[in-house]
Amino acid sequence: MNSPATDKQLNFILTLAGERFEGDALDDFFTFANSGDVKKGAASALIKGLLETPKLAKAAPVVRATQPATTLVAGRYAVEIDGVLGFFKIDVPESGKWVGYTFVKQMASDDEYPVKGARKGAVLAAVEEDPKAASIRYGAELGRCGVCNRTLTDAASREAGIGPVCAQNAGW
């Protein structure tokens, strides 16, 4: 068994190590697996030892105590963050495994980029101050409905920053 370890063995070692170690110890497994010097016999012995090692305890799932005071609806919003106007898409799933989560993406031309961490909190806080105004500003700035993102072709809709159907559905 002096032949080199297979890719399958090395990948399994990394999977097992990732479930059982963190930090420098995990880095050592990556260095070991990528060294190119691992033999089949050594890999088999390591796999056996890893399988006998207990897994790390999983972090308790994050439970959201309550929804935000103002209930945001999925849509597009324009708000200033640190003095710069930004355009954001907010998704609030109503079904499936993501119920209770709020996703924020920054819009840049035709692309969308996830917003996370403190910046996500800042965007949500800015939108929550006045969701209607933020949605209408999106529509007024870009000529697209702040709810469904369709092009606003009617003069009254462009002035309002929202299409008539979406305005009615949103209660605006």
Q: Is residue 65 part of a domain?
A: no
pLDDT at 70 over 60: no
Considering the domain architecture, whether residues 101 and 142 belong to the same structural domain is answered as: yes
Distance between CA atoms of residues 92 and 102, nearest Å: 5
| Percentage of the chain modeled with pLDDT above 70 | 91
Q: Smallest Cα–Cα separation from 141: which of 87, 71, 70?
A: 87
Greater model confidence, 124 or 58: 124
The radius of gyration computed from the CA coordinates of the chain, to the nearest angstrom, equals 25
Q: Is residue 57 part of a domain?
A: no
**pLDDT computed for residue 26 by the predictor:** 76
Count of structural domains, the chain: 2
**Size (the chain), residues:** 172
Q: What is the pLDDT of residues 10-32, one digit of tens each?
A: 888 888 888 888 877 777 877 77
Considering the domain architecture, whether residues 83 and 148 belong to the same structural domain is answered as: yes
Considering the domain architecture, whether residues 81 and 165 belong to the same structural domain is answered as: yes
pLDDT at 96 over 70: yes
Half-sphere exposure of 1 (CA within 13 A, CB side): 10
pLDDT at 3 over 50: yes
Q: Is residue 2 part of a domain?
A: no
Q: Is residue 69 part of a domain?
A: no
- Quote the tokens at residue 11: 């990948």
User: pTM for this one?
Assistant: 0.56
Angle at CA 154, nearest 5°, toward 150 and 160? 80
Greater model confidence, 96 or 89: 89
Considering the domain architecture, whether residues 33 and 87 belong to the same structural domain is answered as: no
pLDDT at 66 over 80: no
Range of the domain at 22: 7-52
Considering the domain architecture, whether residues 91 and 133 belong to the same structural domain is answered as: yes
**pLDDT computed for residue 88 by the predictor:** 93
